Amino acid sequence: MTAADDGLGHGVVRAVGAIGLATLLSRVLGYARDIVVARAFGAGPMTDAFFVAFRIPNLLRRLFAEGALSTGVVPVLSETLARGGAGAFERAVRALAGTGGLVLAAVTGLGALLAPWVVAVMAPGWRGDPALFDLAVRLTRVMFPYLLLVGLAALCMGALNTRRRFFTSALSPAVLNVAMILSVLLLAPRLDPPVVALAVGVLAGGLGQLAVQLPEVRRLGLRLVPVVDWRDQAVRRVAWRLWPAVFALAAVQITVLVNTLLASLLPAGAVSYLYYADRVMEFPLGVFGIALATAALPEMATRAARGEDAAFRTTLSSALGLSAFVAVPAAVGLVVLAGPIVALLFQRGEFGAVETARTAEALVGYAAGLPAFSAARIAAQAFHARGDTRTPVVTGFVALAVNVVVAVALMGPLGHGGLAWASTVSGYANAAILCWRLGRRGGALAVAPLGRSLLRTVGASAALLGWCWWARSALGAEAGALGTLAAIAGGALAYLGAAVALRAPEVRSLRALLRREVALPPPEGE
């Protein structure tokens, strides 16, 4: 039985396809950016300073553009459009642009002024190195205006997503990557220190993220002329919805900041190793996990609003099953082949064998948590769809506390690798608590069919594990690009072959996803 037969929306897979394709392009360009940066600067004090400085604008991008935006802005704009028509929708967008832009401009100015204190909080271990500390402060001040630019870009994304225009808005982060690549290639040789070129590239990228969406916004007939109106109902409703979503996602991002703070206490390069490893881990999470969570939210919200509990369980359980079907094998492959993959992506120029080995240590820790990170995103969206903003917030901060305790315990014996493992442990705590609460809350989670789906996924992943283990032994320390690619391709075939043999329903889901025909199928037994 297909999802279409079961009454699920046809737009879910169409949205997943559009978002996933655009995100794939953005991630590929992101890796090209990281390759350029690694080759030019390696992994050392200069890149540490940039990555610490970039945490603040990157934090806002993740909070708004990838999470709180969809749960805060999109529902309000959708309701405004449905009840008030195109005129009310345009007035709401203009009020959000003006009022939100004013708030972000004030935060930008305050952030630039308080940059020394921001860096001191994020990297207290650098107080003993004035040159490194001052460089991080300088880079922070250069990049703070990115907050305003990415906030306005996020609003455009919300307006476009409300009108079911996903591709252009999901593509906008690719512009940031292009701008940073060009800044390294063209500006770095002309600036002192050269790493300042990266900060300039971030600003140019933020402007590009906004500009690339404006033609699509105009095609919708929207005049994006900001209006400051604190009394506008859309502004008030967004503010009311936004803060719980921001706090829920903030727990995840505070985890990143805590790890950055602790990494600053470790030997030079630790921040960069964690950054590069996180970038590799986020490829499957961004391309599929985020796209699936984004596309499933409006479907779950519609089912919840109509009181269709069985359909809600179907959508949620199918999303979790399909997420695990991709995340579990991705985790297995990244853990076993961490060294060859990091070498393939980054080992060139100033990024040598030592940097590869240390980045791989962090990647193993991060990659083990992929299934949890992906499941937690979807589970949190289920709570938001049912109007419960409190549970994800509380659960997120419980996971944050777990991360801090585990990170402090492991950073001594395992160094920066211990910080990555702490993120994974807290990720599983977050996902487990959310799913447990969903199962207890009126049976919102179809446990039995989801469990059968997970057993098939684990069984197919065992075949992948055997292949990857053999391939790593056969390739040895110097795998080479062709050998690594062959190992990855062979692993994918081994996993899919085992999944077909086990009759995993997610194989049909992926086939439908590629054809963009139907939405998520129900898990077996529903």
Tell me the C-alpha distance between 49 and 272, whole Å: 9
Q: How far apart are CA 229 and CA 216, in angstroms?
A: 25
Position 106 in a domain:
yes
Q: Taking the CA atoms of the chain, what radius of gyration do you get in angstroms? A: 22
Place of tokens 């392009």: 25
Among residues 17, 19, 319, the alpha carbon closest in space to that of 160 is found at: 19
**24 belongs to a structural domain:** no
Q: What is the pTM of this model?
A: 0.69
How many residues make up the chain in this entry? 526
In a domain, 524, yes or no: no
In a domain, 99, yes or no: yes
CA 419-424-427 angle, 5° bins? 125
User: Quick one: tokens of 48?
Assistant: 């540490």
How many distinct structural domains can be found in the chain? 1
Residue 232 lies in a domain: yes
Give the whole-angstrom CA distance, residue 366 versus residue 354: 19
Residues of the domain holding 127: 35-41+45-242
Contacts of 48 (CB under 8 A, 6+ apart): 132, 264, 268, 269, 270, 271, 272
**For residue 212, which amino acid is it?**
V
Question: How buried is 211 (Cβ within 10 angstroms: 0-12 exposed, 13-18 middle, 19+ buried)?
Answer: middle
CA 41 – CA 194 distance, rounded (Å): 9
Confirm whether 404 is domain-assigned.
Answer: no
pLDDT values of the chain reduced to their tens digit, one per residue, 526 residues: 334 333 334 455 556 656 667 777 877 888 788 888 878 887 678 888 888 888 776 776 666 545 555 566 777 787 788 778 888 888 888 988 888 889 888 988 888 898 898 888 877 777 778 888 899 899 999 998 988 888 888 888 888 877 777 777 777 778 988 999 999 999 988 888 888 999 999 999 999 999 999 998 888 888 778 888 888 888 887 777 676 666 666 666 677 778 777 887 888 788 888 888 888 887 777 666 666 766 676 667 667 767 777 778 877 888 888 888 989 999 999 999 998 889 888 887 778 888 889 999 999 999 999 999 889 888 888 887 777 778 888 888 899 899 999 999 999 899 999 999 999 999 999 999 998 888 776 556 777 778 888 899 999 999 999 998 888 887 765 667 788 888 889 988 999 899 999 888 777 766 655 554 434 434 444 3
Q: E strand or H helix at 310, and its extent?
A: helix 309-336
C-alpha 417/C-alpha 437 separation (Å) is 31
Indicate whether 101 belongs to any domain. Answer: yes
What string of DSSP letters covers 213-237? THHHHHHTT--------TT-HHHHH
- Residue 104 belongs to a domain: yes
Element (H, E) at 324: helix 309-336
